[in-house]
Amino acid sequence: TSWAAADRVALSGERKLLTAEIDENIAPMSASYDTTHGLAVLWNDGQACVYSPGWLDRHDYSDSARAARRFTPTLWDEQAQPPPRFTHEEVLGSTEGQLAYLDAVRAFGAAIVSGVPSVDGEAERFAETIGHVREIAFERVHNVRTDPAGYSVAHTSGELKPHTDIPSYAWPPSIQLLHFLTNQADGGESTLTDGWAAAAELRRSHPHYFDVLARTPVPFQVFSDQEDTATEAPIISLAPGGEVQMIRFSNHTVQPLSLPFDEVETFYDAYRALGRIIDSGRYRATFMSHDGDLITVHGHRVMHGRLPFKPASGARHLQDVYMEFEDLTARARVLRGAHQPLPAQGPTQTL
């Protein structure tokens, strides 16, 4: 078959045989199984293959096996403690510490690393240690300081409501690193809100509104003097299995709708319902960020924000960079060795 050793590149496991080239009448002539070697199959094209027990377990496509393999994120509410915390030394000093951090981001959608050097560009260096920086149209490393004339609401000292960043991309950055070089101002507590948990409540309480937000395209735009990003996409994006895959919630970058007249009111009812769940604080963690803290946020799930602060009371400077969530999950697979292809064994076509 196309999974046989002779039909794959030895080092990468990539398949060389096109599925379209396999005769549609392919069928087993005989088969036997034992717990040591696995499933031995003689195909009617003359090939003999042995499928190891481990390979069969990993690719069992029964409903129960597929359900067991499916990752279930840990949703949280205001009663939960702030996101899991790690030290800079723990994350970068050992494989075990880095895996614990990566697993926490995957499960909770956020994690905090303390003790990161308060040095310009350190967020970028951290990102490239565990993955790759996601380039965007604006700045590779974005500085956030109070600036009444700044182009973003993030540069003000007022409350920054929960939001996701740059929903104006067809695929917004899915990881954001926010590094506090200094945070000596009074107030300005950080907030993180579990958008998937908020969407789950909307799905339970108002399923029709959930469906409206999952199918209605909404225009978003983020631009500057030199750059412009714009797209139309639903507030809630679903994976093929129906679970929530992405939340785009950025009230300050939504543009005027382009909908049939009779759909506008229902959309705003649904949008308002989700916004009130988010603003209720039921799924929000609030905490003070300190010098050297680096917050990792799953940007398709967790909304970030802050409470108002007094800019004259002390310095406040953070830098942020973007990454992709799949870079973190890939890093975890590499550290666990799970990315290695299975070697071919024996004289027969073996998997």
Over 70: is that where the pLDDT of 37 sits? yes
Residues 207-225: pLDDT tens digits? 999 999 999 999 999 988 7
Give 14 or 94, the one with higher predicted confidence: 94
Give the mean pLDDT of 193-215: 99
pTM, two decimals, is 0.89
Q: State the burial class of residue 351 (Cβ atoms within 10 Å of its Cβ: 0-12, 13-18, 19+).
A: buried
Q: Where are the alpha helices (DSSP H) in 174-221?
A: 195-205, 207-215
In the predicted structure, residue 351 carries a pLDDT above the cut 50: no
What are the pLDDT digits (tens) for 243-288?
Answer: 999 999 999 999 999 999 999 999 999 999 999 999 999 999 999 9
Residues 51 and 33: their CA atoms lie apart, in Å, by 9
Domain 85-334 has CATH 3.60.130.10: yes
- Best CA proximity match to 139, nearest among 112, 116, 165: 165
How far from chain centre, in Å, is Cα 319? 20
Helix and strand tally (H, E) in the chain?
A: 9, 20
pLDDT grade, residue 349 (50/70/90)?
low
Degrees, nearest 5: CA angle 23-25-30: 110
CATH number of 5-70: 3.30.2020.30
Neighbours of 78 (CB within 10 A): 13
Q: What is the pLDDT of residue 154?
A: 63
User: Tokens at residue 64, please?
Assistant: 């129960």
Average pLDDT of the segment spanning 21-25: 91
**Max alpha carbon distance in the chain (Å)?**
81
Q: How confident is the model at residue 312 (pLDDT cuts 50, 70, 90)?
A: confident
Q: Is the pLDDT of residue 335 over 80?
A: yes
Q: Pinpoint the residues of the chain covered by CATH 3.60.130.10.
A: 85-334
> Residue 348 has what pLDDT?
45
Lowest mean pLDDT among 198-207, 218-227, 229-238: 218-227
Residues of the chain with CATH 3.30.2020.30: 5-70
